[in-house]
Amino acid sequence: MPPQLPVDERRSGLERRSGIERRGESPVETAATLPLQRVFPHARLTESEAAERAAAIEAHRRELGTRLGRNVGAVVAAVDYLLNISGDLVSPTIVEHEALELLEHRSITDPLTGLFNRYHFDATMTREIARCRRYGVPLSLLLVDVDRLKLLNDRWGHHAGDQALSRVAVAIQKSLRGTDIAARLGGDEFAIILPDTDAVAGLIVATRIRRNLVEGASTMVTVSGGLVELPRDAADASAAQMMLVADHALYSAKNSGGNCVVQREYQSED
In Å, the largest CA–CA distance within the chain is 93
User: Given 110, 147, 180, 188, which residue is catalytic?
Assistant: 188
| Separation CA 209–CA 143 (nearest Å) | 12
Q: E strands within the chain? A: 139-146, 181-186, 189-195, 223-230, 261-265
Q: Are 37 and 63 within 8 A, CB to CB?
A: no
Q: Classify burial at 83, counting beta carbons within 10 Å of its beta carbon; exposed 0-12, middle 13-18, buried 19 or more.
A: middle
188 annotated active-site: yes
| Separation CA 170–CA 12 (nearest Å) | 63
As annotated, the active-site residues are 188
